[in-house]
Amino acid sequence: MTVLNETFSDARFLDAIFFDLDGCLVDSTRAITNTFNHTLLTSGIAPRSAEVTRSFIGPPLRATFDRVVVEEGLDPAFASVLVATYRARYGAMSASETTIFPGVLEALAKLREYAPLAIVTSKFGPVAEKLVDEIGLRAHIAVVYAPRDEHTIEPKEVTLRRALAATGARPHATVMIGDREHDVLAGHACATATIGVLWGAGDRAELEAARAHAIVAEVDQLHGAVREIAMRRAVDRPSDLSQFNPGSPA
């Protein structure tokens, strides 16, 4: 086992709590919407509505642009050009157009009582690391797990498995928290507990369909949801997670 952060060797109630970044810890709607439409316009493609660009928050960037080029009837290889254009603008503007959700820093302070914290995101690693530094999250969550190859699509499940392996966290004693089905489905694939949040891009129907173990509508409800999972963790049996009612509010 390789421990990337010494705090992971001294977990208390859970082994780890992993958070998605966009739509969970930070409100990146303006940054992502503006950057997507900048990318499309500079490439001669009609911009998308706010509703459509909101759905782009969460999935891997390359997968989204693969979809766009299919919709536009363009050469599939053009998706790489769109990704490069997007990243150039996003890298310059993301920090000024992204905010930490109200209450998140206070919630993180409470949740550190239960386990070490880390970010597990589909955002390209260097981009995610830069944003975490610039927006002021690094002091609260030091470790970021993210795709490192900008030319391939890395499913969230793969990133989450790498985080579990790096920290030595046991899946049944780990919580994955996010706002989209990709976060919840990755948790199920890796056998972690899952919490869906409703202040991001996903809605209740999406998170219920993905069978989140708990769904919370407000940031201050996270502590209670994690506490319930920690109590089940105390008996140290993987089967305890089956006691949750998937999709139920915390």
Q: Report pTM.
A: 0.83
The residue to which tokens 């509703």 are assigned: 51
The pLDDT of residue 198 is above 50: yes
8-17, 83-92, 124-133, 196-205: least confident range? 8-17
Contacts of 239 (CB under 8 A, 6+ apart): none
**Residue from 42, 48, 83, 77 nearest 62 by CA:** 83
Tell which CATH architecture fits domain 6-28+99-243. Answer: 3-Layer(aba) Sandwich (3.40)
Confidence at residue 12, expressed as pLDDT on a 0 to 100 scale: 64
Q: Is the separation of the CB atoms in 46 and 68 below 8 Å?
A: no
Sequence spans of domains, the chain = 6-28+99-243, 29-97
Q: Is the separation of the CB atoms in 199 and 20 below 8 Å?
A: no
Look up residue 78 and give its two tokens.
């053009």
Confidence at residue 166, expressed as pLDDT on a 0 to 100 scale: 96
Q: What is the pLDDT of residues 42-51, one digit of tens each?
A: 999 999 988 8
Neighbours of 148 (CB within 10 A): 12
Q: Model confidence at 233, in pLDDT bands (50, 70, 90)?
A: low
Q: Is the separation of the CB atoms in 151 and 52 below 8 Å?
A: no
Confidence at residue 241, expressed as pLDDT on a 0 to 100 scale: 44
Residue 192, strand partner residues? none
Q: Model confidence at 96, in pLDDT bands (50, 70, 90)?
A: very high
Residue 164, SS3 per DSSP: helix
- The helix (H) or strand (E) run that includes residue 105 is helix 104-111
Query: What does the alpha-carbon distance between residue 59 and residue 158 come to, in Å, rounded to a whole number?
Result: 13
Q: Would 6-28+99-243 and 29-97 be classified into the same CATH topology? A: no
Tell which CATH architecture fits domain 29-97. Answer: Orthogonal Bundle (1.10)
Confidence at residue 42, expressed as pLDDT on a 0 to 100 scale: 94
Query: What does the alpha-carbon distance between residue 37 and residue 205 come to, in Å, rounded to a whole number?
Result: 27
Q: Is the separation of the CB atoms in 143 and 4 below 8 Å?
A: yes
Contacts of 92 (CB under 8 A, 6+ apart): none
